[in-house]
Chain A
């Protein structure tokens, strides 16, 4: 296996996880602020355990699927997922849709939990725990897909999982130190980068699954990533001009 494949797989898992964990952390922090760290930690731990269970269950099963079928299926899913992320990141970079605002989400989540607290007269412990659990599950689902998709086909499940776990550790470490939503993380740039990598993986594996012998083999991934990066920038730049023209 070429270093380009391993590096792209681990980087994609790390960066995607970074984006999603920042989003989940905002909600977990809101829970912790209102109901204490114990409730938030229980909800988070149950969510992470469920996600780890999905990886441990699906990872080996996916590895048993014949390689051509696996590459085609995962390649198509990665392509759909990757271009979806890249499209949204390009539109956000162009200012067409608003950037993800962690401070605003934190305020909204805190207000919502506070309102629920008044309605159920202080017995909010379980609601807060479920909120943290749901945030971790919903945001983690995309990370699990990326880890399995980029890892299982090439025996990279462990490195990809470690990449995702490293991102969790980085975000949790930073969050514990600053104790605020991580609003300075350049989420859209990260999302743009992950969208580029996943789209490149998607085209590469879909092609391999269809029996296309890519010139340069795994190195073709780097060319594809460069082309998707250029297409994302082009789309974003044209979208900005277009939206200004309509303004």
Chain B
């Protein structure tokens, strides 16, 4: 049972390295899906939002990780 718990924790940890990064990445994907599928925005523009949003999230998350916690 302990091993199953550890496996489950490992599995979740694989996709949730940091909660804020995970939620923000999911929000970007949801926003792009909404823009492309419901608003009818040019898919390429949606792609640019997805790519640039992911890159920005990465840099922001690394910088947040480097700041000392108050």
Contact = CB atoms under 8 A, between A and B. Distances in A.
B25 A83 contact: yes
Interface string B7-51: 100110011111001100110010011001100000110110011
A138 B66 contact: no
A203 B67 contact: no
A142 interface: yes
A210 B58 contact: no
Contacts of A206: 29, 50
A234 interface: yes
Residue from A94, A96, A212 whose CB has the most chain B CB atoms within 10 Å: A212
A96 B65 CA distance: 8
Contacts of B26: 76, 80
A80 B16 contact: yes
A168 B59 CA distance: 32
Which bucket holds chain B's interface residue count? 35 or more
Contact of B46 (A77, A88, A212, A231): A212
Interface residues of A, number: 48
Interface of B: 3, 6-7, 10-11, 14-18, 21-22, 25-26, 29, 32-33, 36-37, 43-44, 46-47, 50-51, 54-55, 57-59, 61-63, 65-68
Interface string A124-145: 0000001000100110011001
A81 B14 contact: yes
Given A76-B26, A199-B54, A213-B43, A236 B62 contact: yes
A contact face: mostly helix, strand, loop, or mixed: helix
20 contacts: A76-B25, A76-B26, A83-B17, A84-B15, A84-B17, A87-B17, A87-B21, A138-B7, A138-B10, A199-B58, A203-B54, A206-B50, A210-B29, A210-B33, A212-B50, A224-B51, A231-B58, A238-B66, A239-B63, A239-B65
Contacts of A91: 62, 65-66
Contacts of B17: 80, 83-85, 87-88
Contacts, number: 129
Contact of A238 (B29, B47, B62): B62
Nearest to A75: B29
Contacts of A212: 36, 43-44, 46-47, 50
Contact of B36 (A87, A88, A142, A210): A210
B21 A211 contact: no
